[in-house]
Structure 1
Amino acid sequence: MHAFSCVEDYRRAARRRLTKLAFDYLEGGAEDGDALRRNRDAFGQWGFSPRVLTDTSQMSSAATFWGREAAAPMVVGPTGLNGLFWPRADELLARAAADAGLPFVLSTASTSLLEDVRAAVPDGELWLQLYVQQDRRIAESMMRRAREAGFRTLLLTVDTPVHGKRDHDTRNGFKLPLRFTPRLLADCMRHPHWSWQMLAHGAPQLRNIAKSTGERADLARHAAMLSRQMDLSLRWDDLGWVRRHWPGEVLVKGIQTVEDARLAQAHGADGIVVSNHGGRQLGSTLAPLELLPPIVEALDVGGPRVAVFVDGGVRRGADVVKAVALGARGVLLGRAPLYGVAARGGEGAADVLALLLGELRTTMQLLGCTRVDDLIAQRLARLPAIQANQANPL
């Protein structure tokens, strides 16, 4: 078996195991991929300023989210259609997160029932990501089921009134349900392990949407509900509607401006996620890490306290350190754990989280920090443009 030293090793292994159609769906961004590249490059714009002789013999990477402790300021974020990469991937990711001491966020577009995810991790900290369709009864049903299953925190995604233009999916003929064209069949023959699992377990279904609509599984119909039947009338005042159905914390995911961060604060959000949807919606947005400092500064000026999370481009524990030093309460992991589960199932997901946790703790000690609260902007230095480009070459 290959030795896996970092997330990039898992990315390469996932690429070897998955068909091109599946890997491009996991990996790709919108249009020319500018936002996707910018997300990763943003971390290379910052270098560290370590302190020495500070006694790091007793250190902890623990973080606290609304009084509940996590092993690190990391959350396994929401990703959809995970069953395309490995059977029951949602349960495997949730189990890996729970074993690592991290929260797990289940997507509305999950391929496992939220009740099954809870059964797989009765001890886990589970959060729900919510899309709102034109028929709001679907979202209301999803929130009710999640409450009853003991999910604690809700992430309301607000950056997807329509789906972004993803050229790679168009070129690959990616449609749901999958159409096994001669090109895809030839690709399946080159990836027998993925193909055998797909045959043995069947094509993934959007099971949570199906249950909340009270319909039988119908991938084509339920995928269309996500891509063409989103509630375009959703407004800031609708956070009140969400509050009536959700007693726990509510985070607004998809914030990309100071103005919207302040509106989220004014409308009573417990937190926000600075996010461009992994570069999968608008093709030319700024990186969330670039947007983070001014948003944090604006929310610190006054008003209710709002927890600021960030996602996009995280591949190293050092990236988490940089985000926290720039003001993030926590970092959502998207593609990184998916590479693990796509390469080696539950073992891969667990190993990716262990690698990131190890890198995070090593980076903290090398910086001279013993607590997450020690990670402040003074431990970072902005690099000149040439050095930054060399740090993360394309």
Structure 2
Amino acid sequence: MSDPSPSLHLRQRLRRGRDRLATALITAGGIGVVAALLAIGVFLVVEVLPLFWPAPADTGADVSWQALWLPQSYEGYDAPQHRWQPTVTSAEERPQYGMTPLVWGTLKAAAWALVIAVPLALGAAIHSALFMSRRLRSRIKPTLELMEALPGVVIGFIAGLVLAPWVERHLAGALAMVVLLPPGVLIAGWGWTRLPAPLRRGLPLGWAGLWLIPWLLVLVTAALALAPWLEAGWFGGDLRGWLETRLGLEYASRNAVIVGLAMGFAVMPSIYALAEDALSGVPASLAEGAQALGATRWQTLWQVMLPAASPGVFSAVMIGAGRAVGETMIVLMASGNAALMTLSPFDGMRSMAASIAIELPEAALGGTHYRLLLLAALALFVFTFLVNTLAEVVRVRLRRRYRRLGGAP
């Protein structure tokens, strides 16, 4: 009878060899990612530094921190202005390198995206994690998470060529939907609490994501039907003209609201997925203990569940903000790309990422314009790095909190 020990020993050696190879590949991949990040940062810093040397790359270009971030005096303007106009059409004109409008446009687009995405994403995360039935949650959650894979260029295309013209044609209808939908949903929730017990059992709270859809369609239809009377009665039959004459707000077809809707749609899945995981990971014993002590569902949510999951929710919002700031194609296709500094939600803007995508191919290699675009890239790189680092630190804090509470993250 043959001794099986040599073949067993060989299989063990092969297994250990495969484990070591896998470990080496994973380690090399991690080191490669860190090295790539460091290389990108070093490259950007090296390319940007010559901007502030005594002899700039472009002749006649005065680049300083004051010129980049403070308003400057330009011919034809009474007051100092923030202006970004790096290309000129004649030798008499000077390039205008104020980067403040680009930073403003970036933050304005991200702010509107978060204003739209955060309430919807957190509301969906709270409902699916705490109230939705398991059967419906197992189908809804993967669907919402798959939305994150939608390319930004597709969302930007739809926003710029479909959504923006529709809102411009039906401005009063869009306003009516904004006015009617939030109170309509609250009325639906109040009406559900007033239903008889048999009807409430037929419309369980865990399936509200489905039985609310017909009601939302009714609200949208009512808003569009009432829009002409609303516009005629309150705005003299011309809402766009009323905004311009009464409030001094000019309506651009591609504006901050359109960008916010499109970018909010793109950012919402990532915020939802992370916030939902954080809420689902809170130990169920906390909610059960609160309800056993007499707390309502609302009190349990606000005073127990959300505080316990707050680090994860904060991390989700921060990661969403990082993506919103770095988004390129949606802002490029839906914002109008006008370097304006206004608070109006109906004006366009120009973000740093969009400027890099548009202007970098035409910028002279090594010139002032080229290096300023890389300065914008460096600012985006640093912001994204800091946001992701902060989100990771908060996530680690969340895991420690769960461990102390005796639950699983």
Which structure has more relative contact order (CA 8 Å, sep 6+)? It is 1
Question: Higher strand proportion, which one?
Answer: 1
TM-score between the two structures when normalised by the length of structure 2: 0.25
Question: Higher helix proportion, which one?
Answer: 2
TM-score between the two structures when normalised by the length of structure 1: 0.25
Of structures 1 and 2, the larger Rg is shown by 2
